[in-house]
């Protein structure tokens, strides 16, 4: 066969510098994907926090002392009939 080359003994098929470049490429792409994933998670957490704050503004929180207030006809914390939760 004319023009066919035979492999040289001891020569490798892959260039070592190309292998290093491939590793750097994989590392950079992985870091980029990780950064985008963290940004997406952070954005979701921030939106959830904003949604909770907006929900709190829409409806008032119940009183923390456990007493019902603001119902018509109640004389006070006991509700007028002698029981606390009347």
Instruction: Give residue-wise pLDDT tens across range 37-75.
Output: 999 999 999 999 999 988 888 876 666 665 555 555 555
74 Cβ neighbours under 8 A, 6+ residues apart: 68, 80, 86
Mean pLDDT of 13-28: 84
Token digits for 59?
């409806």
28 to each of 20, 22, 24, how far by Cα in Å? 12, 10, 6
Q: How many residues does the chain have?
A: 86
Q: What pTM does this model have?
A: 0.47
What are 15-19's contacts with CB under 8 Å, separation 24+? none
| Residue-level pLDDT at 56 | 85
Determine the pLDDT at residue 24: 92
């Amino acid at each position: 066969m004319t023009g066919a080359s035979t492999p040289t003994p001891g020569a490798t098929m892959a260039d070592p510098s190309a292998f290093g470049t491939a590793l750097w490429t994989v590392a950079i792409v992985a870091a980029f994907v990780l950064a985008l994933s963290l940004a997406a998670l952070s954005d979701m957490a921030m939106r959830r926090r904003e949604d909770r704050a907006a929900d709190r503004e829409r409806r008032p929180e119940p009183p923390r002392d456990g007493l019902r207030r603001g119902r018509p006809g109640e004389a006070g914390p006991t509700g007028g009939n002698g029981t606390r939760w009347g």
